[in-house]
A and B are shown apart, each in its own frame.
Chain A
């Protein structure tokens, strides 16, 4: 169930609980501390900023699940949403 489902129709609270838990447990099990996530976020900002102007405040990094053919159909994934302000033009 994707994020869009949240907006298209109201989900039952049982399903909301299930989806929240799934995400929560992925990051719990990965044992990823908020400090480490912050460090990953800062490194990503540094790397991407070399090539384009990004909105560092709106940058969102989280551990989530993604569909996979193996391993019960889903594997943990590092998801980064990086809004671009302007792509730098190379001369």
Chain B
């Protein structure tokens, strides 16, 4: 039986879709069979981040409305044969799907996949309710900013109220130079405030933008963000991986070197 992880944040623009794409790719690299579902109906994005926008025929709403079979709507990744995308509908709205329908769909996918990743829309309305309905665990994405952390706190409260057992925190877009100057909250500050388990931190790396431009996720490649995503995927599988030392540039390269030696 597969595990269902919702990637959510409350606030928009903190990196939910990028995280979904990279965690999906990273888990596929670890030989897991993964399906990513874009639940942001009306604002389809995961397909472009994955570089799969030209392959869409059917979408999530088509499957729910039984206009096609589930298999027909699943797009397989360019690189990894065990990685699939179920795209969202661009011209429909959030009310096209109910939480019950999402749960039924997810239960169908559970049989076949190791991991089902749900890319949640921003906000706490219908789209959010649909996305969390069938989830076993949640990955809350935030950035070290007051507004994003506040929204993350609200989301964590809602996830707990919906009895989502495991909630992990991903601190995204960390700027080491600013943290060092004291002009950005560090990972410990954010983790302490939100009081949930930290699953990883991803630096604000320009390679993330480049990878989105190209439609190729960077998980696993030779960049700081790529390594951070790989480590997060290993932690999702339950492995204990030491955190990359993002506060100290020297430490980061030292640890990266260590990583490569091990592999």
Contacting residues of chain A (1-33) with chain B, CB-CB under 8 angstroms: 12-15, 17-18, 20-22, 24-25, 28-29
With A14-B179, A17-B146: A25-B153 Cβ-Cβ less than 8 Å: yes
Does B184 sit within 8 A of A, measured CB to CB?
yes
Give CA–CA (A15, B247) in the complex, Å: 16
With A14-B179, A14-B189, A28-B154: A21-B149 Cβ-Cβ less than 8 Å: yes
With A17-B146, A20-B146: A12-B183 Cβ-Cβ less than 8 Å: yes
With A18-B193, A21-B193, A29-B157: A13-B182 Cβ-Cβ less than 8 Å: yes
Residues of A within 8 A of B (CB): 12-15, 17-18, 20-22, 24-25, 28-29
| Contacting pair A14 B184 (CB below 8 A) | yes
With A21-B149, A21-B193, A25-B193: A14-B186 Cβ-Cβ less than 8 Å: yes
Give CA–CA (A18, B150) in the complex, Å: 11
| Contacting pair B157 A18 (CB below 8 A) | no
Give CA–CA (A28, B149) in the complex, Å: 12
Give CA–CA (A15, B183) in the complex, Å: 8
Give CA–CA (A17, B192) in the complex, Å: 13
Give CA–CA (A30, B150) in the complex, Å: 14
Closest Cβ of chain A: how far from B173's Cβ, in Å?
14
Give CA–CA (A25, B142) in the complex, Å: 15
| Contacting pair A25 B185 (CB below 8 A) | no
Give CA–CA (A24, B182) in the complex, Å: 20
Does B262 sit within 8 A of A, measured CB to CB?
no
| Contacting pair B150 A12 (CB below 8 A) | no
Give CA–CA (A12, B181) in the complex, Å: 8
| Contacting pair B153 A18 (CB below 8 A) | no
With A21-B150, A24-B146, A25-B150: A13-B183 Cβ-Cβ less than 8 Å: yes
Cross-chain pairs A/B with CB under 8 angstroms, 23 sampled: A12-B182, A13-B182, A13-B184, A14-B144, A14-B182, A14-B183, A14-B184, A14-B185, A14-B186, A14-B189, A17-B144, A17-B145, A17-B184, A18-B185, A18-B189, A18-B193, A21-B193, A24-B146, A24-B150, A25-B150, A25-B153, A28-B153, A28-B154
Closest Cβ of chain B: how far from A45's Cβ, in Å?
30
With A17-B145, A21-B193, A22-B193: A28-B150 Cβ-Cβ less than 8 Å: yes
